């Protein structure tokens, strides 16, 4: 891609800014607080954070992970989430040639670390995240199609119905899955489905694979068999893998399946 470096240069500060906003989402959405007011404050002393101390990643490093006012430690999750979001955004805009698709995938990937983190900490995938995301991506897919941006609304709808429908059935017959997972599947399905149903298949297979490994690890660590294990992080991981390597993995699987046939 000839403009890969340009996209990366533009994407890095944008990705860090989005990552900084995602730290606000992770902190405030589960608590039912506003994302806009008040301004960012120290979680320990409540002092409003000055602009110079609110630069993604860099401020945390300069302050050595401590609040300038009270000296208490600032959780490492803030720079980690900012950096992870920035990396995914940059990778998304560089991976896809078509601008409309690249922007959509980058925005989609930016949500995955935050959703995973919230589910790990609170065992929920908030409607305040999934509902706006679904509506925004659905509208985006249609608009991008109008401008020949490389998305397909029909495949997007099919991807959402297939992935979301399967998890909806699982949620009805199982106590281990919540409706938040179903709504996340709708978001994943509509975004990845708009560029190819194979991507949705890889995302779902990845979620099941990672979830199975995570479940076995939890059992090996002595956790109770019926203990609630969040599935959102595994779905997010599967979606990330599919966004970057969905086509290759689908081709490999189909090739291996064909080779194993009669």
* 6 and 50 together in one domain: yes
Per-residue model confidence (pLDDT) at position 124: 95
* 48 and 65 together in one domain: yes
Output phi, psi for 73, to 5 deg.
-70, 140
Structure tokens at 112: 């995955």
* 131 and 90 together in one domain: no
The alpha carbons of the chain give a radius of gyration, in whole angstroms, of 20
* 20 and 139 together in one domain: no
* 258 and 133 together in one domain: yes
Structural domain for 230, as ranges: 98-262
Which percentage of the chain shows pLDDT scores above 70?
A: 94
Report the range of poorest mean pLDDT among 48-62, 119-133, 230-244: 48-62
Last residue of a domain, one of 69, 95, 121: 95
Domain count of the chain?
Answer: 2
Cα gap 156→191, rounded to integer Å: 6
Output phi, psi for 41, to 5 deg.
-130, 160
Per-residue model confidence (pLDDT) at position 226: 58
Which percentage of the chain shows pLDDT scores above 90?
A: 66
* 257 and 127 together in one domain: yes
Structure tokens at 100: 């409309």
Per-residue model confidence (pLDDT) at position 259: 63
Last residue of a domain, one of 95, 117, 140: 95
* 132 and 37 together in one domain: no
pLDDT in tens, 21-30: 999 999 999 9
Closest CA to 136 of 164, 110, 161, 108: 108
Q: In sequence order, what are the residues at sequence separation of 6 or more whose Cβ sits closer than 8 angstroms to the Cβ of residue 139?
A: none
Per-residue model confidence (pLDDT) at position 1: 47
* 59 and 105 together in one domain: no
pLDDT in tens, 156-211: 999 999 999 999 999 998 877 889 999 999 999 999 999 999 999 999 999 999 99
* 166 and 212 together in one domain: yes
- Rounded to two decimals, the pTM is 0.92
162, 176 contact by CB (below 8 A): no
Per-residue model confidence (pLDDT) at position 48: 83
* 142 and 210 together in one domain: yes
* 141 and 35 together in one domain: no
Last residue of a domain, one of 35, 65, 95: 95
Residue 213's H or E segment, with its range, is helix 197-220
* 81 and 192 together in one domain: no
Per-residue model confidence (pLDDT) at position 218: 80
Average pLDDT over the chain, rounded to an integer: 90
Strand partners, 41: 48
pLDDT in tens, 100-111: 999 999 999 999
Choose from 39-48, 57-66, 70-79, 180-189 the range with maximum mean pLDDT: 180-189
First to last CA, the chain: 40
Report, as an integer, the average pLDDT of 3-29: 91
Please list the alpha-helical segments (H only) found in 147-178: 153-173
């Amino acid at each position: 891609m000839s403009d890969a470096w340009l996209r990366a240069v533009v994407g890095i500060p944008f990705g860090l800014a989005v990552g900084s906003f995602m730290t606000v989402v992770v902190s405030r959405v589960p608590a039912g607080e506003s994302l806009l007011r008040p301004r960012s404050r120290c979680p320990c002393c409540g002092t409003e954070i000055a602009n110079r101390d609110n630069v993604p990643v860099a401020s945390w490093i300069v302050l050595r992970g401590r609040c300038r006012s009270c000296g208490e430690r600032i959780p490492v999750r803030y720079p980690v989430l900012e950096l992870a979001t920035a990396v995914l955004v940059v990778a998304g805009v560089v991976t896809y040639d078509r601008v409309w698709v690249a922007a959509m995938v980058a925005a989609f990937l930016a949500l995955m670390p935050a959703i995973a983190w919230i589910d790990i900490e609170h065992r929920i995938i908030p409607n305040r995240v999934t509902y706006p995301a679904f509506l925004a991506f659905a509208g985006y897919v249609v608009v991008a199609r109008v401008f020949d941006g490389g998305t397909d609304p029909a495949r997007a709808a099919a991807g959402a119905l297939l992935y979301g429908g399967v998890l909806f059935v699982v949620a009805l017959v199982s106590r281990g899955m919540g409706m938040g997972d179903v709504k996340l599947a709708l978001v994943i399905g509509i975004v990845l489905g708009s560029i190819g149903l194979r991507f949705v298949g890889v995302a779902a297979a990845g979620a099941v694979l990672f979830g199975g490994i995570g479940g076995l690890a939890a059992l090996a660590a002595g956790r109770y068999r019926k203990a609630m294990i969040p599935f959102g992080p595994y779905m997010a991981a599967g979606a990330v893998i599919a966004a970057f390597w969905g086509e290759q993995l689908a081709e490999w699987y189909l090739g291996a399946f064909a080779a194993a046939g009669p």
